[in-house]
């Protein structure tokens, strides 16, 4: 079966498996994520379930390679969380410098973190340790979750199919599909854009395209989905830190606003420079049985 047909089957399966629980939750009267967490959890597994089905059906003899699950030790497993931290720092710096929002300080960070979790606090320093522990555990949990749900689909099977078409074309196409995949979550439940849902439909694919460029580089260099899964998890986990470090940021300056887009754009530019300086010659020697058609 041709690449285009395999990609079409994968995408149809992914969207049906992921969108169905979200749409059913909306029909059932749920209007925010907290009221339907199980539906969102099921939706996350759409890409990996579709990828496994397609690999079993179409990729006989190299299924683990097609899913990006030939794991190996790589320095990019360490660089992935470093990149996530760098993107968060750039987000904070850009937002603090271009907007009226200032750094919240230790007391403000603790207070905002407590408010987000609907908790009280007494000693800011002690509560910040709680925040750091919570973020660390969230990062570890998300690394497993995003690697073996979304990333096996996007930077696993779809990467296997589309990467031979070139770094930029595959990155942009995957990022666009990835952003559109979020649409029902954004529009029906206000994911990341609770007060600007329609605008979020246009803005979020831009962020996923920019992020996909960085993730493709990490996927290339690491040789598996684990490193992009760690990076993906790191960026999502540190979004909470961005929210509490700044003094009550609101759209367009919050964790998924202008600062975030600018940080991703800067990361994509660094990626472009890195690609130019160190072209992926080794990619041509990868054992792909899939060829562009």
pLDDT tens sequence across 212-250: 999 999 999 999 999 999 999 999 999 888 888 888 788
- pLDDT tier, 17 (very low <50, low <70, confident <90, very high otherwise): very high
- Whether the per-residue pLDDT at 23 is higher than 80: the answer is yes
- Whether the per-residue pLDDT at 275 is higher than 60: the answer is yes
| Contacts by residues 12-17 (CB-CB < 8 Å, ≥ 24 positions apart) | 13/46, 13/49, 13/50, 13/53, 13/54, 14/46, 14/47, 14/50, 14/51, 14/153, 14/181, 15/46, 15/181, 16/46, 17/43, 17/45, 17/46, 17/49, 17/50
Q: Is the pTM of this model over 0.75?
A: yes
* Mean pLDDT computed over 118-145: 83
- pLDDT tier, 126 (very low <50, low <70, confident <90, very high otherwise): confident
The pLDDT of residue 139:
94
Per 3-state DSSP, the chain is made up of helix, strand and coil in percentages (nearest 5) of 75, 0, 25
- Whether the per-residue pLDDT at 27 is higher than 90: the answer is yes
What percentage of the chain carries pLDDT values higher than 90? Answer: 68
What percentage of the chain carries pLDDT values higher than 70? Answer: 94
155 Cβ contact list (under 8 Å, min separation 6): 68, 174, 215, 216, 219, 225, 228, 229
């Amino acid at each position: 079966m041709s690449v285009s047909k395999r990609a079409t089957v994968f995408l149809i399966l992914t969207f049906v498996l992921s969108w169905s629980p979200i749409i059913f939750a909306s029909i059932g009267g749920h209007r925010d994520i907290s009221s339907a967490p199980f539906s969102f959890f099921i939706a996350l597994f759409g890409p990996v379930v579709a990828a496994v089905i397609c690999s079993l059906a179409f990729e006989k003899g190299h299924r683990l390679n097609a899913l990006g699950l030939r794991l190996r030790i790589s320095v990019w497993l360490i660089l992935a969380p470093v990149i996530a931290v760098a993107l968060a720092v750039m987000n904070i710096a850009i937002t603090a410098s271009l907007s009226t929002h200032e750094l919240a300080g230790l007391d403000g960070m603790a207070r905002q973190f407590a408010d987000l979790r609907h908790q009280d606090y007494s000693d800011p320093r002690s509560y910040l340790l709680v925040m750091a522990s919570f973020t660390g555990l969230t990062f570890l949990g998300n690394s497993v979750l995003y690697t073996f749900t979304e990333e096996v689909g996007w930077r696993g099977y779809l990467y296997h199919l589309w990467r031979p078409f070139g770094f930029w074309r595959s990155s942009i196409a995957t990022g666009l599909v990835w952003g559109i995949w979020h649409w029902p979550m954004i529009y029906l439940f206000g994911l990341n854009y609770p007060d600007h849902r329609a605008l979020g439909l246009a803005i979020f694919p831009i962020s996923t395209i920019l992020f996909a460029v960085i993730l493709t580089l990490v996927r290339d260099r690491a040789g598996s989905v684990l490193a992009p899964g760690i990076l993906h998890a790191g960026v999502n986990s540190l979004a909470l830190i961005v929210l509490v470090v700044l003094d009550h940021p609101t759209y367009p300056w919050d964790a998924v606003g202008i600062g975030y887009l600018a940080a991703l754009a800067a990361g994509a530019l660094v990626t472009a420079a890195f690609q130019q300086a160190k072209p992926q010659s080794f990619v041509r020697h990868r054992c792909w049985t899939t060829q562009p058609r």
